Amino acid sequence: MAAVTCAVIGAGIVGAAAAHALTKRGAQVRVFDQFPLFHDHGSSHGTTRLYRTAYFEHENYVPLAQLAVEAWRELEAESGEEILSPIGVIMAGPPDGAVISGMRTSAKAHGLNVRLLMEKELAEKAPWLHLPDSLVALFEQSAGFIFADRALRALCRGAADKGAVFNANEKVTSWRSTPAGVEIKTSSGATHVDRLIIAAGAWASDLLGPHVARITPVQKSLFWIAPNDKRFSHNAGTIPFGVETPEGRFFYGFPAIDETGVKFGEHTGGAVMADPLAIDPAAFDAAEREATAFLKDYLPDAPRRIVARKSCLYEMSPDGDFIIDRHPEDDRVAFAAGLSGHGFKFAPVLGEALADLALHGAITADFGFLLRRP
């Protein structure tokens, strides 16, 4: 019996994970991306991403986050590279704010090890972090960060080793259903496959059409400081952090893992983009001013001179939850969209789910809350 042929649109972290999962199931896979592999135009580039299981966004994400940790460990074993760094994460905010109350809800519902840091212990674990008296801090020992670029390359390499073909610099312009399968048109011509997976990030709505909730590209800004300050290095034990301010803004940061320095940015806010490639310099400058103000208030002992900055995209769904399902016009087409700035850590389980949807038309109940919505 001939292997099922499947095309994947998008070679970012979710598309790569889907290709990896499909090849494990014996499918013949071709991955299309409009840019070179490992480009920096979308949402998957960069050195690090937070991972955590005490999920403040909603307790329903916790089982998926736990499965993702197992899947990342399997990728580590396959690739021979360190993907996860479980050094713990500190999250701070008002006791009744979205972050702290959400973490406590998830921890209680799933029996997670999350504990309140008293002033002395906070000073020991994060002497560089200064919080006003109105904020509290929680510590999740089993959380940490993902070596993001390394993870993406490992998924692509693993898929390619099992036969996946990557067509970089080949944009998919459209697709249509046929009696025999799905025809996709690219800048190089037409390709016919049995199944299609769309993981196009900020460009998803161009391919999903009006029957799936609109995905909005949002410009985000990342900054680096303290490139030579060993106090803030990964090797010195600096812990990733997130802070929800009393005004409801959420900033985060990572220890320095290389000479670039300490990475930080704001998860909230951002500039809506009409074109995902049209970076707004004014919005970039405004974000830098806000980031510098945050440093002054919350990391007063850290150098505030920003030595590097980069942009990335959030692909926002209407409510901030992921959307993963089969396309309403063709059950042979599966998609993931609207990862809304918190999807990277879930990539391997999203890839597995997309492979199951494309090949078998069903996924586990854990994903039920993410399925199709108007």
Given 52, 220, 263, 332, the catalytic residue: 263
49 is catalytic: yes
Do 261 and 183 have their domain in common? no
Alpha helices, H only, the chain: 13-24, 62-79, 98-110, 119-125, 148-161, 204-208, 281-298, 347-360
Round to whole Å and give the CA distance between 201 and 316: 9
Amino acid sitting at position 66: Q
- Which contiguous run of DSSP H or E holds residue 252? strand 250-254
Assigned domain for 78 exists? no
Assigned domain for 70 exists? no
Assigned domain for 167 exists? yes
Given 6, 53, 156, 312, the catalytic residue: 312
Domain that holds residue 349: 5-45+149-212+319-370
Do 227 and 303 have their domain in common? yes
Assigned domain for 82 exists? no
Assigned domain for 61 exists? no
Query: How far is residue 371 CA from its own chain's centroid?
Result: 18
| Phi–psi pair at 303, nearest 5 degrees | -60, 140
Round to whole Å and give the CA distance between 245 and 251: 8
Which pLDDT score is estimated for 217?
A: 97
Do 186 and 293 have their domain in common? no
Do 164 and 110 have their domain in common? no
6 is catalytic: no
Do 155 and 203 have their domain in common? yes
238 is catalytic: no
Domain tally for the chain?
Answer: 2
Residue with tokens 């769309």: 198
156 is catalytic: no
Given 41, 220, 267, 342, the catalytic residue: 267
Assigned domain for 333 exists? yes
Which pLDDT score is estimated for 373?
A: 43
Do 224 and 312 have their domain in common? yes
Do 249 and 288 have their domain in common? yes
Which of 316, 336, 353 terminates a domain? The answer is 316
Assigned domain for 59 exists? no
Given 20, 30, 41, 49, the catalytic residue: 49
Residue with tokens 């990733």: 240
Given 195, 234, 342, 345, the catalytic residue: 345
Do 298 and 357 have their domain in common? no
> Which DSSP state fits 256?
B
CATH code for the domain in which residue 281 is found: 3.30.9.10
Do 103 and 40 have their domain in common? no
CATH code for the domain in which residue 31 is found: 3.50.50.60
Given 5, 23, 48, 216, the catalytic residue: 48
Do 254 and 278 have their domain in common? yes
How far, CA to CA in Å, does 324 sit from each of 70, 312, 327, 333? 21, 22, 9, 11
Do 269 and 306 have their domain in common? yes
Round to whole Å and give the CA distance between 68 and 351: 10
Do 255 and 302 have their domain in common? yes
98-110 vs 62-79: helix axis angle to the nearest 10?
A: 80
The DSSP string of 257-272 is -STT-EEEEESS--EE
Given 24, 25, 45, 110, the catalytic residue: 45
Assigned domain for 53 exists? no
Cβ-proximal residues to 285 (8 Å cutoff; 6+ apart), any chain: none
Mean pLDDT per 10-residue run, the chain (374 residues)? 90 98 98 97 96 97 97 98 97 98 98 96 93 97 96 98 98 96 95 98 96 95 89 88 97 93 95 95 95 94 90 95 95 97 97 96 88 58
pTM: 0.96
